[in-house]
Amino acid sequence: MNLQASPADTIIEARWVIPVEPAHALLTDHSVVIVGDRIAAILPTAEARIRYTPRSRVELPAHAVIPGLINLHTHAAMTLMRGLADDLALMDWLNHHIWPAEFKHVSEPYVYDGTRLACAEMLRGGATCFNDMYFFPQATARAARAAGMRAAVGLIVTEFPSPYASDAQDYLSKGFAVRDEMRNEPLLSFCLAPHAPYTVSDQSLRQIATYASELDLPVHIHVHETLAEIEQSLKSYRVRPVRRLADLGLLGPGLIAVHAVHLDEAEVALFAQQGCHVAHCPSSNLKLASGMAPVRALLEARVNVGLGTDGAASNNRLDLFAEIRLAALLAKASSGDPTAVPAWQALEMGTLCAARALGLEDRIGSLKAGKFADITAVRLDEIETSPCYDPHSHLVYASGREHVSHVWVNGRLVLDDRRLTTMDTHEITVRAAYWRDRIGAS
Ligand SMILES: [Zn+2]
């Protein structure tokens, strides 16, 4: 033992460390040193062995270590409706399948069980944080905390009654009660989450804009997902939804616009000028035939774009590796430019860009001394990832969530060689089957 060495909790010795910040960086034979809930240092492994005496050492000789992936838009508890209704148009799917099932079954235990299932799936897939929008956010928050996963909990608002709340005021007051109760939880942050311009009134949106600025909370909202939504807004309000949100004071650096599939040039410029963020959900947009978001134009205008899975009912995977790969491929296909969204940038969208959208850029999203230790290790010597010339390329184009081996959240090992340390997977699947039987019987 080296008496001059500093103590550390964990040292991760990796073949490659991809910190994401600075962009393109690739560190070979480096170690990530964790002390408490933070990254204390990233340095060459030979040096780390001299300078630190860790309580635990994890050797990952064929792995890339990356920042934990961040799911910038989901409805976690909708895992329990995975595969319930597929191959339908958005409004038919919502009006005739999803909303009736939600109205009948959604409850606090439902949201807890569904979110726990989602956390298990996301952690096994290398995601360490998710931005959620769903009923009973107190159950979402409790499930994330129990799973040891970081979450931005959306305080959902719509004008429509549900088993959770009766009207917009009721949603807001219940949401604020959850935030008041859990605001000091280390893994949790909160967003205001009005569902969409077509489900929330001008009056409520104006109020949400005021609360967002007073409380410094991000606003997480579906925007311009389909052409039908824009047509309906033109009929009802005589303006497109983005214009309406701008007039109501919602645009700004706190806004996370989910989908943003149909944007004209002026709207892209307005998002850039206002510092709005976009949560790009390529799988959900493809499955519901919503279209392809103008990602290349958004990036060229310097709009910050992160990636989301959307809920498991419209994807049906909470798989950030799939979204990262699709984001890179779709940007090329939709722009006719194969250089659009190179691998390093797709990875940045799945990590640092999402952290920036959540206002958590100084805490998570990259591997940097002083940030929280939210870390994912991916094995790159499998059949599907051999040989490896360029880890950035493999992470985006070749590997999948099944290659994730270890995950740490806040310095805690939550996935150990593909085994979840915080959850009983058997119990989770038993609960999922219980809900399938209840929902399927109705
Ligand atoms: Zn959504």
141-166 tens-digit pLDDT: 999 999 999 999 999 999 999 999 99
The pair of structure tokens assigned to 361 is: 């850029």
d(CA 440, CA 442): 6
**What average pLDDT does range 193-207 have in this prediction?**
98
- HEC letters along 62-80: EEEEEECEEEEEECHHHHH
User: Ligand 1 centroid to 268 CA: how many Å?
Assistant: 20
Task: Say what the pLDDT of residue 2 is.
Answer: 53
Task: Say what the pLDDT of residue 361 is.
Answer: 98
User: Ligand 1 centroid to 257 CA: how many Å?
Assistant: 10
User: Ligand 1 centroid to 279 CA: how many Å?
Assistant: 10
The model carries a pTM of 0.97
User: Ligand 1 centroid to 359 CA: how many Å?
Assistant: 20
DSSP assignment letter at 14: E
d(CA 75, CA 371): 27
- What is the arrangement of strands in the sheet containing 419-420, beginning at the earlier edge strand? 38-44, 27-35, 6-17, 52-67, 375-379, 404-409, 412-416, 419-420
Q: Determine how β-strand 6-17 pairs with β-strand 27-35.
A: antiparallel
Residue 292 neighbours by CB under 8 Å, 6+ apart: 261, 282, 285, 286, 330, 333, 334
Between CA 190 and CA 195, with CA 191 as vertex, the angle to 5 degrees is 140
More confident position, 72 or 88: 72
Q: Which of 51-55, 100-104, 204-208, 240-244 is the least confident region?
A: 100-104
DSSP assignment letter at 359: T
User: Ligand 1 centroid to 311 CA: how many Å?
Assistant: 6
pLDDT-derived band at 91 (thresholds 50, 70, 90) equals confident
User: Ligand 1 centroid to 132 CA: how many Å?
Assistant: 9
Report CA-CA distances (Å) from 69 to 101, 159, 330, 412: 30, 33, 20, 16
Contact 42, 19 (CB under 8 A): yes
User: Ligand 1 centroid to 196 CA: how many Å?
Assistant: 9
User: 222: which strand partners?
Assistant: 258
Q: Taking 90 as the threshold, does the pLDDT of residue 200 lie above it?
A: yes
Q: Taking 90 as the threshold, does the pLDDT of residue 253 lie above it?
A: yes
d(CA 266, CA 273): 10
User: Ligand 1 centroid to 377 CA: how many Å?
Assistant: 28
pLDDT-derived band at 335 (thresholds 50, 70, 90) equals very high
3-state class of 190 per DSSP? Answer: strand
User: Ligand 1 centroid to 222 CA: how many Å?
Assistant: 6
User: Ligand 1 centroid to 313 CA: how many Å?
Assistant: 10
For 286-321, write each residue's pLDDT tens digit: 999 999 999 999 999 999 999 999 999 999 999 999
